[in-house]
Amino acid sequence: MDSLAERGARFDAAYCNFPLCAPSRFSMLSGRLASDIGAWDNAAEFPASIPTLAHYLNLAGYRTVLAGKMHFIGPDQHHGFAERLNTEIYPSDFAWTPDWDNAGERIDKWYHNMDSLSEAGQALATYQLDYDEEVGFAAIRKLYDFARETDDRPFFLTAAFIHPHDPYVARPEWWDLYDHDAIDLPDEVSLESLDPHSQRVRRGIEADTIGYTEDQCRNARHGYYANTSYIDGWLGRMVQALEETGEFDNTVVIATSDHGDMLGERGLWFKMSFFERSLRVPFIMAGPGVANTTVANACSLLDLFPTLLDIAADGGTPIEPVGPLAGRSLWGAATGGRDPVDEAIAEYTAEMTSHPMFMIRQGRYKYIACDTDPSLLYDVVADPQERTNLADDTAHADLAAGFAAEVGRRWDSAAIRDQVLASQRTRRLLHAAMGSGGRVSWDYSPAQDAANQYVRDHMDWAEAGTRSRFPELE
C-alpha cells in the first residue's frame, strides 16, 4: 500500500457508507445508499434487479471477475460479475437477521463477543486464512490467465479478502513482524461517559460483562496489525503479477476496505459505529493517469462507482447510469485536479440499535444522529479521537442545528424504521420456513470443468504445455 501511495493518489478522509460488511459492499457496488436499496444489515437481500458497477463495466467491454468475499445475500450470487472464482466465507441466506422487535436482547449464536479477544494470537491455519489463501491464489492465477489468453478486452478484477478481521489470529511469519511489547494500547476513557450507542454495542459484544484483559487487548491489536501486513503481502503479490505480465502500467489499482475496527478504542471492538476507527477506510489509487497526490477532502465508497465509470470511459464514450448515483467521481482529484466537494455520509440500521442512525461528515465536522440518542458533533481535525461532543456547545449551536435539519431533509427516519422492521419480520419467517422443510442453499458453488483442466486425453500434451506457459516459448 505504501508503494502504491508513493506513486499514486491517497485519499486521506475516505469512509465506508455503512459500518458493517454486507451493506457496505452492496452500497459500494450499486453506488446507492443502503437505505435506498434495502441493505439493512448482514442478512438483507441484495436484489438482482439493482444494477452494479460490474453490469456497467460489462457493457463497457470489460471482462468482470470476482475473487473472494462479497457477502451477497439471496439467490443472485454474481450481481453482474461474468465470472466468480470462489464461494462466500459467510452464509448467503437470512440467518443473520437482527430483531428490532427485541432490540434489547443480545444476539447469541452468530454475533461478535469477547471470544474474538480470548482467541487472539498465532495459528498456522484458520478458516479465515484458508479462505484468503484460496482468494489470493485464484486472483493471481486469473491475472496470469488474462496474460495467457487471446482475449484482448480490458479486465476488472475484484479481489476481496476477509482479513484483517476478528478473531485476530495470524500466522507466525506475519505476527513476528511486530514487537509484541511495543504494540500500542487504546487511550483510557471513562466508560460511564460513553454515548448510548457505544453502551449498547458494549452490551451486545459482552465487553461490559465478560470484558477482556490488557493482555487480550494487546494480542488482538497485534493480530490485527499482523493480518494487515498479511493482506498487504497479497496486494504486493498481485501487483507483482501485473508487473510480470506487463500490465501494471496499463492497470488502475485501487486498494480499499469495507469498514474498519475500533480495536478497543472507547471500550469498543469490531465495527458498527460511526467513530473514525470503525468508519474510516484506506483508499489508494495508482496507475496510468493517476497523479502522485494526497487528497484531504472527505469522500466515501459511494464515490467508487462513478469513478470507475469515468476510468472506463476515459478516451471513449461516457457511460450513463440509468438512475442517479449517490456519490461523485474522484477521477478528477486522482489525476491531479481539485475536488470541490468535501463530504461523506453514512447510515446504520443493523444490530444494537432500534432506530436508524445517520452520519454526515462535511469539512472538519462530523454529525451523528439517531431518534433515541443525543446528537453528536465532532471536529475531527482538532479532535481526532472524538472526545469532545460539540452538539450542546452554544458556540456550535447553529452548526448543530444546520446538521440536524440536513439529516431531516436527507432521511425519513420513521419511514426507514418501518421498512427495517417489516423486512426483519419477513426474513425471520422465511429463514425459519427454509430450514424446516428441507434446506435450500443460496451459497455459491464455483463451477469447475475438471474434464478440460490441465491435461486430458482429448488434448495434445505438447500443445497444452505451450498454451499454459507464460511468457510464451519463442
Q: 441: closest CA among 128, 158, 73, 126?
A: 73
Is 21 marked active-site? Answer: yes
Task: List the catalytic residue out of 16, 55, 71, 217.
Answer: 71
CA geometry: angle 40, 211, 117, nearest 5 deg: 70
Residue 164: asked if its preceding bond is cis (omega within 30°), the reply is: yes
Q: Which three cell numbers stand for residue 335?
A: 489525476
- For residue 85, which phi and psi values (nearest 5 degrees)? -100, -25
Contact (CB, 8 A) for 29 and 56: no
Active site residue 431: no
Q: Which residues are catalytic?
A: 21, 71
